[in-house]
Amino acid sequence: MIALTDKAASKVSELITAEGDEGLALRVAVRPGGCSGFSYDMFFDTEIADDDLSVEKDGVKVVVDPSSAMLLEGATLDYADGLTQAGFSINNPNAQRTCGCGQSFS
């Protein structure tokens, strides 16, 4: 299952507060596509299936479907806000190869 850094949890919490719906969960998924074979997808969701896996950090709930969970085992979601890098990134030890943009992997 994917883990969140403190910075990622804080930013997700801030975004959920801005949405005005404390019932939102962050869904992280792996989809076929991208230049390396798979791409990451992240969005807020209120619909949680019975077989979804979930983890909570600092009040932020993250949900992952079972097939994505296998590809995200041991991965970490981070957030950076700097001059050279801004936004969310996923450090995935299961990725054998990533593309230049960091949005897809195989």
* Domain positions in the chain: 3-96
Does 100 score more than 60 pLDDT?
no
Identify the CATH class of 3-96: mainly beta
Rounded to two decimals, the pTM is 0.83
DSSP secondary structure letters along the chain: --EE-HHHHHHHHHHHHHHT-TT-EEEEEEEE-STTSEEEEEEEES---TT-EEEEETTEEEEE-HHHHHHHTT-EEEEEESSS-EEEEEE-TT-S-B-TTSSEE-
Does 4 score more than 80 pLDDT?
yes
pLDDT band at residue 37 using 50, 70 and 90 as cut-offs? confident
